[in-house]
Structures are given as C-alpha cells and as structure tokens.
C-alpha cells in the first residue's frame, strides 16, 4: 500500500488532520509542530489524541511525519538562537510522546560562516542534549538542497552528524526529492545509483520518510523551490519510479508541493493510480 499524505495545518488538532487526510485519500500527514517563528505550541488535548489514534488505526494510517519549525537553527553562530532551537526541540519531543512511535523531521541547520565541521558539531551537541533513552519518536535529519550554508547537502554530512550522536538509534533520515535533486543527486536518470550511494554512506535502514516535491530549478542548482508533482525539472515519471522502487516500499511519502487541499487530492490520486506494488 502506498502511504501518502500532505502537510496540513495543525491549528484544529490531530483528529481534524486525520479527517482532512481521509477526505483526500491520504493515510499519513505532516504538520508543523508550531508556527515557523517557533511561538508557543497549541496545548495537547488528550481526548483529541485518543480520537485521532482510533481513526488512524481504523484507517491504516502509517507513521506521521511532524516537522520542526524550519526557522530553527541548531548551528547558528548566535548562542541565543541555538538555545532557542534546543528549547523548542526538547518541548516538541516531549509533546511527540503523546502520539508514540512517530517521526519528527528537522532541517539540520545553517552554519552561517562557521564552517561545515563546526556546524556539524553544534547540531550533534543539540541532539545529544535532547534525545533521551526512553523516547519512542524517531528524529529525522532532512536532506537539504545546499542553499547558503545549509548543512545536510550531502549524505556524508548527514552520516557525520549521526556518527557524533550517542543515541543514534533514535535518528533517521527524510529524503526530500526536490532538495536532493537540487543538491546534485540525479534521482531522474540514476535513482538506483543514488540509493546505492545512500546505502553505502548512511544505510538505507535509516531512511524513514520521503518528502515528495518537484523542483522549480534545474539539477544541481542548490536552490530549494518546490514545484507541483510533474510540473518541475524532476517530472512525473521520476516520482512514479520512486514510489514503486522496491527499496522504498512502505515509507511515508509526504507532499510539500504548492497546493491547497484539492491540489493535494489530485496529486495523491495521480500517484495512487501509478502505484503498482501491493
């Protein structure tokens, strides 16, 4: 079964997101844990969570992919910005435990001139502070396009972070199709080669989710502008290859394309129709 969904607003709670997903024939979703500026998160309502978990179970939902505010920067050159990132992530991870065994994705960060190695150290340091042995959540490092001083533009950089984290059994990777294509991984002409490389450097067992986006920019552009499925430089056929690849089977696929709900419904329909595995 293809596990697919899109990014939804969390303002009306989990049950609402579950119902919105059913409306568009999705069986997973992503949501921002709080607004991008990182303000206070909505209070957890245990009744809402219980009702959602029941709906998810009845409708074969796969894991959810929560997204940290994309403004968090664990490797900022300012201490207060790093501390802010640390506090938000710690709070998010505590909240994630109300829905056990889900995925929490974050952008590793931008080193803003301190250098890749210094950035990787700071990211690992934050993870070593917030990850706890009894956590059930898997924290995902997202593959990045490499715009500006973004860390995570190569599989090697992600591997280095993972290697520096003590509880790295809590870590996985989310592969963003737009980001890796912009970063210079040719998933259009050489998907097998890219997956082999991922396996060699990180290990495919770490790959826990896919952000499925077409790209407004050409291969290797290091830009990160998402496009609707089939309307960008990656194209529909490459997306179909990804969802049908035996090594990517069962991963939650999250659309982060520029769409409203009806546009997402259309993309989910197209991709479900093109899905050939059982």
**Cα(37)–Cα(44) distance, rounded to whole angstroms?**
19
Annotated active-site residue 278? The verdict is no
Report which residue's Cβ sits closest to Fe ion.
211
Q: Which is nearer to Fe ion, 15 or 248 (CB)?
A: 248
Binding status of residue 160 toward Zn ion by CB under 5 A: no
Q: How far is Cα of residue 65 from the mean position of the Cα atoms in its chain?
A: 6
- Minimum CB distance to Zn ion, residue 69 (Å): 14
Q: Which of 92, 160, 214, 224 binds Zn ion (CB under 5 A)?
A: 224
- Minimum CB distance to Fe ion, residue 106 (Å): 8
Annotated active-site residue 163? The verdict is no
- Minimum CB distance to Fe ion, residue 107 (Å): 5
* Residue 199 CB coordination number (10 Å): 15
Long-range Cβ contacts of 153-156 (<8 Å, 24+ apart)? 153/183, 153/222, 154/183, 155/197, 155/198, 155/201, 155/202, 156/201
β-bridge pairing 138-142 and 103-106: parallel
- Minimum CB distance to Fe ion, residue 45 (Å): 26
**Active-site residue (options: 160, 224, 264, 267):** 224
Q: Which is nearer to Fe ion, 92 or 142 (CB)?
A: 142
- Per partner kind, with CB cut-offs from 5 to 8 A, the member of Fe ion, Zn ion, none near residue 182 is none
Annotated active-site residue 107? The verdict is yes
Take residue 40 and report the two structure tokens written for it: 């206070």
- Per partner kind, with CB cut-offs from 5 to 8 A, the member of Zn ion, Fe ion, none near residue 224 is Zn ion
* Residue 188 CB coordination number (10 Å): 17
- Per partner kind, with CB cut-offs from 5 to 8 A, the member of Zn ion, Fe ion, none near residue 216 is none
- Per partner kind, with CB cut-offs from 5 to 8 A, the member of Fe ion, Zn ion, none near residue 211 is Fe ion
Interface contacts to Fe ion, rule CB under 5 A: 142, 176, 211
Contact criterion met (CB below 8 Å) for 27 and 5: yes
**Cα(163)–Cα(167) distance, rounded to whole angstroms?**
10
Please state whether 101 falls in left (phi above 0), alpha (psi between -120 and 50) or beta. Answer: left
Annotated active-site residue 179? The verdict is yes
Binding positions for Zn ion, rule: CB under 5 A? 224
């Amino acid at each position: 079964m293809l596990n697919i969904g899109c990014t939804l607003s969390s303002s009306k709670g989990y049950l609402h997101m579950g119902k919105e997903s059913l409306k568009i024939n999705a069986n997973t979703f992503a949501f921002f844990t709080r607004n991008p500026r990182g303000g206070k998160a909505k209070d957890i309502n245990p009744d809402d969570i219980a009702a959602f978990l029941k709906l998810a179970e009845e409708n074969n939902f796969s894991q959810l992919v929560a997204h940290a505010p994309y403004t968090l920067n664990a490797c900022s050159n300012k201490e207060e910005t790093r501390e802010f990132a640390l506090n938000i992530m710690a709070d998010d991870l505590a909240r994630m435990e109300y829905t056990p065994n889900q995925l929490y994705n974050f952008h590793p960060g931008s080193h803003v001139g301190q250098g890749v190695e210094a950035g990787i150290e700071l990211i690992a340091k934050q993870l070593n502070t917030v990850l706890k042995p009894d956590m059930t959540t898997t924290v995902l490092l997202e593959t990045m396009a490499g715009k500006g001083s973004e860390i995570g533009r190569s599989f090697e950089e992600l591997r280095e972070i993972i290697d520096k984290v003590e509880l790295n059994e809590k870590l996985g990777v989310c592969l963003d199709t737009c980001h890796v294509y912009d970063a210079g991984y040719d998933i259009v002409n050489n998907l097998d080669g890219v997956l082999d490389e991922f396996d060699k450097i990180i290990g495919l067992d770490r790959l826990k989710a896919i952000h499925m986006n077409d790209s407004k920019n050409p291969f290797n552009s290091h830009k990160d502008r998402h496009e609707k499925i089939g309307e960008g430089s990656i194209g529909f056929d490459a997306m179909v290859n990804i969802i049908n690849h035996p090594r990517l089977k069962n991963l939650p696929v999250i659309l982060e394309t520029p769409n409203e709900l009806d546009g997402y419904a259309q993309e989910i329909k197209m991709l479900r129709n093109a899905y050939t595995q059982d």
